[in-house]
Structure 1
Amino acid sequence: MTATPAQPYSPSEARVPRPRRTLSPVPAGRRARRAPGPLRDALALAALPLVAALVLPAAFAGGGTRRWFGGRAENQRAEAQAAKDAAAAAFYELDTAQRDLRISIETITAVDDSPAARRAVNDFAELGRRIDEASHRYISAVDAHDLDRDDLDASTASRARADLTAAKDELGRVKQDLDRFADGLGPLLDKAETQLARLAPAVERARQALLAASQALDSARGSGLKADDLAARLAALSPELTKLNQGAGQHGVPATLDRASRVTREAEAIRVEAERLPERAAEIDHRLVSLRTRAQALTTRSEQVEPILSELRRRFTAACWQDLQGVPELAERNVRQAEDRLAEARAARDEQRWADATSLLSTARALLNTTDEAVSAAGDRLRRLNAVQKDPEQEIERTRFAIRDAQRLAMSGRNTPDPRHARPLDDSVARLERAIAGLQGRHPDYWHFLTETEAVRETVSRVVTQIREERGAGAN
């Protein structure tokens, strides 16, 4: 007879199982007859030893093969099993927390390569070693104690409970350290998640900017403009678009964000320039006409410089006009060079070399500005010399008024002026007096007089500015 497999013990298993009654089949067509009363009683007495032999062993076995050791051993088994369940729960919680935190660490390392991020990776690795040690202790405790053994005694169950409880406590301590570490990752994780959230929009903006640039370039070409330089710049962005399409998994999140930003800026610049090409062409045409007209006007004006110089030589000393002797030659040379640059700009415009055309126009304009200043200086010199020769007092009074005004400001709120202010003002008075004295004689140097009075007013103006700045700073 095969014994029933052992099952976890419970008090209900101590009751005696009822024997099963086997029924013999009744032949067909015949009704079973009951034995007479005395015969039935004899048969029951005869069957009693067999029934007892079957029932009594089962009663002591509790329905299985587990032995009965009493309540204390079973209580220790139950406590050990509870400790095992608690340790299993702690192990599961720690494993789940580690898995979740590993995702956070991978998110950070995908985005951030700062010292703080590298330190977090190292700290997580150290925690991983502690987790492995605690997990090994738990698994060893589970493997070392078979709580389902039939012959588990109270002392063995107590040791199992102690080992499993210690393993659970160690798992809990590591879990607390892991939770504290996770809390400290907040700023790094927020930064990484923010960058990841920026990734897809940044790449999409780059793609849209490239598309807009391509469309603007097509539109410019449709209006008859070549825009070869813009087309070359747009073609140079093609490898960058390929890398963007390959994704951050291959090139990294920071590099992909930088690439997307760079592509967006360059594509946007190309789009703006392509859209502005018709306007730029019209602007260059207008500047060509305007500068050519100005060159012609300066040619006419420069022809008047020589008569002005003749009058200066006749009426004033050499010091009044000597620095203007080279103006006619300078004007002629500059106008000729400006006209050459304008011709080159015209050719560059026809070839749609917009950058070259713009640069040449700027050079021509600078040459014409220099010529204009030189030609104007000759006429202005004659006008100022005529005015001071006719009435030098006007220039003198103008300069004296500036000095007196500065002196009043220097004395305002003071009994004595600050030497830093008084000294340059006193020097200016003396310098003006010397310039006035230079007007005496048969052939006065009026140009020296004018340059001296102008220099005096500039010195006085600097002193006034200094006084106001110092008093403004003191008020604050």
Structure 2
Amino acid sequence: MDHRQTAAEAGVVASDQVFPDRRVGAVWEPVRARCYAAAGAYLSFTDELDTAEATGSPIADGPARADALVRQLNDAARGVDEFYHSHRAGLEDAARVRSAVPQLLTHVRSEAEQVLAAAASSGYANYPSIEAGVRRLNEDLITASSVDPQTSVAAARTAAAAVQQATSELSDALAQAPSRASAAAKAIASVTTRLAAVRNRASGLGPAYSALLREFNAASSADLTNNERESRRGIDAADAALVGARVAAADHDPETALDLTATARQHLAEAEQLVDAVTRRLELLREVRADPDAHARTVRFRLRDAQMLAVDRGLVGEWGSVLDAQAERLDRINSGLTGRHPDYWAYVSELDTVAAFIAGVVERMRKHVGTDRT
């Protein structure tokens, strides 16, 4: 029984270290307790036997107690066997993993040291990605060295995985390093072209905004007042980042150059949005002024579709009045186009709000039907 208990105990310890979520130790605990109880009873009885033999005095109910003790020992041993057979695969797997962890740590350390040596001897050691990769890998190696794989298997496996990941990332950075210079040159050329294009488009922002003020209600462009200034600021910021990228490329630091071109692109994208917001607003308002009912007809068409869906799905009682209210709302919106300079932007915005509301109702009706059918 003691031999079987020792074998099972080793497997349980390994399982709790490698697969703590399985909680095998909690299942093992009552089995082990029966073993300890049986072993304690055995030792106590043998002490009595030794004393009786030395003194020549009999033991009361000796044969019966001996039989009971044998049964207790057999029951405890059988419990160990049943436990082990029930969990054998998991216990053996845990023991196998636990025994492999020291070799795993040795292997990942060896790979890490090779990659670190390659980084140090390369011509790209000063690249930010290489410096960061080396720093992280060294930190992960220190962590792995502080873990005892015999007593902290889970922590050792985690540390080994971190070293592997850091090694892989540094290897990738080294593999990509030779192409960084050409990538930076292409990025700088691309951003230079885009900067010129955005500047050209921005030159039309001022006239477009002036046209908005002349042709339409002032409220139609109130939210665009600062677009010209903000777009110019974005273009200037992109220009500054591009200059920095050129300097970094000349200093043989293509990664910083790539970062700066990405920053320039972001500024240009923001500037483009500001410019386009003005020019598109002017185009939209002119279209609405030419045919105010066109936008409203589109929304009314969507409303009719929604009403037909409510009828087809038997949801008129739930959504009919809601959709009818939108028809009345559309009439009120249409009646708001009055005066010499109607607020076409408010008109469009309100129609878009109704359209979004109708789309939301349609989506809810479709989900309701899907739920009923399931």
CA distance in 2, matches of 1:106, 1:274: 44
- Calculate percent identity across the aligned residue pairs: 25
Q: Deviations over 1:164-215 (max 9, x none)?
A: x557524422321222330353356654432221134444444434444444
Alignment partner of 1:136 is 2:47:
yes
> Retained in 2: the 8 A contact 1:220–1:275?
no
> Any gaps of 5 or more consecutive residues in structure 2?
18-22
Aligned-residue offset at 1:376: 0.8
Q: Which residue does the alignment assign to 1:316?
A: 216
Residues 182 and 118 of structure 1, relative CA distance in 2, 3 Å threshold: closer
Residue identity matched to 1:238: L
In the TM superposition, 1:198-277 aligns within 5 A as 198-219=97-118, 224-226=123-125, 227-243=130-146, 248-249=149-150, 251-277=151-177
Based on CA coordinates, which of the two structures has the bigger radius of gyration? 1
> Retained in 2: the 8 A contact 1:203–1:257?
no
Secondary structure class of the residue paired with 1:237: helix
Pick aligned residue for 2:4 from 100, 122, 125: 100
In the TM superposition, 1:417-436 aligns within 5 A as 417-419=316-318, 421-436=319-334
> Retained in 1: the 8 A contact 2:4–2:77?
no
CA distance in 2, matches of 1:473, 1:275: 53
Q: Which residue does the alignment assign to 1:443?
A: 341
CA distance in 2, matches of 1:431, 1:285: 57
> Retained in 1: the 8 A contact 2:137–2:163?
no
Aligned-residue offset at 1:392: 2.1
CA distance in 2, matches of 1:388, 1:314: 16
Q: Which residue does the alignment assign to 1:109?
A: 13
Residue identity matched to 1:104: A
Q: Which has the higher contact order (CA 8 A, sep 6+)?
A: 2
Residue identity matched to 1:131: Y
Aligned-residue offset at 1:362: 4.4
Residues 314 and 243 of structure 1, relative CA distance in 2, 3 Å threshold: closer
CA distance in 2, matches of 1:200, 1:106: 12
Q: Which residue does the alignment assign to 1:473?
A: 371
CA distance in 2, matches of 1:270, 1:122: 51
CA distance in 2, matches of 1:347, 1:139: 93
Residue identity matched to 1:175: L
> Any gaps of 5 or more consecutive residues in structure 1?
1-96, 146-155
> Retained in 1: the 8 A contact 2:133–2:169?
no
> Retained in 1: the 8 A contact 2:248–2:254?
yes
Aligned-residue offset at 1:469: 0.8
Q: Which residue does the alignment assign to 1:83?
A: none
Aligned-residue offset at 1:418: 2.6
Residues 242 and 384 of structure 1, relative CA distance in 2, 3 Å threshold: closer
Query: What TM-score, normalized to structure 2?
Result: 0.81
> Retained in 2: the 8 A contact 1:407–1:425?
yes
CA distance in 2, matches of 1:283, 1:411: 59
Q: Deviations over 1:359-417 (max 9, x none)?
A: 54444333222211111111111111221222223222212111111111111153x71
Residue identity matched to 2:42: I
Q: Deviations over 1:196-237 (max 9, x none)?
A: 211344444444344444444555565521122222222223
Residue identity matched to 2:133: L
CA distance in 1, matches of 2:55, 2:254: 86
CA distance in 2, matches of 1:264, 1:342: 36
CA distance in 2, matches of 1:397, 1:329: 37
Q: Deviations over 1:393-451 (max 9, x none)?
A: 3222212111111111111153x7134x2233223212221222223432222222222
CA distance in 2, matches of 1:188, 1:444: 81
> Retained in 2: the 8 A contact 1:403–1:425?
yes
Q: Deviations over 1:4-43 (max 9, x none)?
A: xxxxxxxxxxxxxxxxxxxxxxxxxxxxxxxxxxxxxxxx
Pick aligned residue for 2:358 from 460, 463, 475: 460
Pick aligned residue for 2:95 from 190, 193, 196: 196
The alignment's C-alpha RMSD in Å is 3.4
Q: Deviations over 1:267-322 (max 9, x none)?
A: 33333333333455654544343333322321221111011112222222212223
Q: How many residues align?
A: 360
> Retained in 2: the 8 A contact 1:301–1:375?
yes
CA distance in 2, matches of 1:206, 1:342: 45
Residue identity matched to 1:461: A
Residue identity matched to 1:132: L
CA distance in 1, matches of 2:252, 2:231: 30
Q: Which residue does the alignment assign to 2:73?
A: 175
Q: Which residue does the alignment assign to 1:7?
A: none
> Retained in 2: the 8 A contact 1:220–1:278?
no
Residue identity matched to 1:235: N
Q: Deviations over 1:328-378 (max 9, x none)?
A: 111110111122234445556656494x66654444333222211111111
CA distance in 2, matches of 1:255, 1:453: 60
Q: Which residue does the alignment assign to 1:127?
A: 38
> Retained in 2: the 8 A contact 1:309–1:378?
yes
Residues 327 and 428 of structure 1, relative CA distance in 2, 3 Å threshold: same
In the TM superposition, 1:50-89 aligns within 5 A as none
